[in-house]
Copies of this chain bind each other. A is one copy, B any other.
Amino acid sequence: MAGYEPKTHSLIAFHDRAAAFRDGADTPRDFLERCIAAIEAREGEIMAWAHLDFDGARKAADAAGARYREGRPLSPVDGLPVGIKDLIDTVDMPTEYGSTLFAGHRPKQDAAAVLALRQGGAVIIGKTVTIAFGGGDPAKTRNPHDTRRTPGGSSSGSAAAVGAPTIPAAIGTHARGSTIRPASFCGAFALKPSFGAINRQGVFSAADSMDHLGTFAGSLRDVWIVARHMARLAGGDPGHAGLYGGAAPPAPHKPMRLVRLEMAGWAETDDATKAAFEEVVASLAAAGVEIFARGDDPAIDDYEARLADMPGLWRDLYRFEMRWPMLQYLALYPDDVPPRLKRGLEEGAGLTQETYRAALVRRAHVKALHGELASRADGFVTLASPGPGPIGMDQGSAVFNEPSSVLGAPALSLPLMATGGAPVGLQLMGRIGGDEALAASGLWVAEHILGRPA
């Protein structure tokens, strides 16, 4: 089987701890101390953190412990140690957006999602490393499974800390591939929800119509619990209904039919990764999941053709949207804008409203086609990345991730494959707004491949 098992030990799960916290067999403080020990053992080589607050975390964990002992946890995330990507505002820790321009910056408030976690009793351990402004220039973090490799970005630290594993969960953002890509490279479960499903207020974004709040965890059930908790307390983005579903993870649900997609990325994918993917797809088919692909429905052929155009469409949207505030930063604080981001800004500086409008029309067409196909299947199955994290500092290709960003469709990365011993994620993409159904399918697929709870 293509199943991938992390080298060190199983990914850390939290959702099954509540009974032990109540009866004293375990405590949130002990759970936290195990995380701190793991961080201290690995941080020197992984460099996942921009800021750590063990003292604050210990206080929060002790308070959670008292609530469990009294039988009154605040929420399913009470006592959960969690890392916060440093593009996300925190009132009690520096928030630097990975940039020198915001060195030592202290927001006046938590981001809406961080406040929701805090109100639910979650234990905020620190801020995880991000690529500067979520752009293209590499950050210091390394892949926990092979430190020669990139962890991916821009949510580098969140993915690496969860994938190591050192913590059970972290949050990040995703406007191109910033959640699904690093989750794929670091061997973590992750959800990039439907556009608007989790409140992004208080989060730095350079591509507002494609940005999402993503969740990483050592188990898919924890991914769900964290995502749904944030949406329940903070809502979705203003004007959006917010992630639908129960506070507890859905039951695993075998999909009846999945559409197999190659997207623009298949041509870039190495043979070993292709083989691992085919093995997973064959295993799903053998278990009775109907797999539709090119040739089975003319809409799939048309959709694949449009997905091949996705990198260009993504770029036209991004480069227009990133102009504010980045062009001003470039003009006013040129030394604080790193070189790749600078190059992208310069290439996008001449974009007009007309180009952007044309891109919106292309988006509307491919979105309509996505909706039509999504109504005929339970979801889409593809790779989360064209292979494992490349060796070197480059954050790797987002070619399998742009479609869900442009469309606003929910996507999961499931750590079910390996190429040359390094993790590669299986990606499931769902219908817009169907995040809960996607999570149910994802649980079934992951447990079918892994042969154990996910």
Q: Name A's B-contacting residues (CB within 8 A).
A: 91, 101, 108-110, 112, 115, 199, 201-202, 207-209, 231-232, 234-235, 237-239, 241-242, 320-321, 324-325, 328-329, 332-333, 353, 356-357, 360
Contact = CB atoms under 8 A, between A and B. Distances in A.
Contacts of A239: 208-209, 360
B324 A241 contact: no
Given A109-B324, A209-B239, 4 more contacts: A108-B325, A109-B328, A201-B324, A202-B325
Nearest to A242: B353
A109 B238 contact: no
Nearest to A101: B108
B91 A332 contact: yes
A333 B231 CA distance: 25
A353 B232 contact: yes
Contact of A235 (B109, B112, B320, B332): B320
Nearest to A336: B108
Contacts of A202: 324-325
B115 A235 contact: no
Contacts of A231: 353
Contacts of A238: 207-209, 321
Contacts of A109: 324-325, 328-329, 332
B91 A328 contact: yes
Contacts of A115: 324, 328
A35 to B, nearest CB: 27
A125 B198 CA distance: 39
A232 to B, nearest CB: 6
Nearest to A324: B112
A295 to B, nearest CB: 34
Nearest to A322: B238
B235 A353 contact: yes
Counting from the closest, the 7 A-B pairs by CB-CB distance are: A209-B239, A208-B238, A209-B238, A112-B324, A109-B328, A109-B325, A238-B321
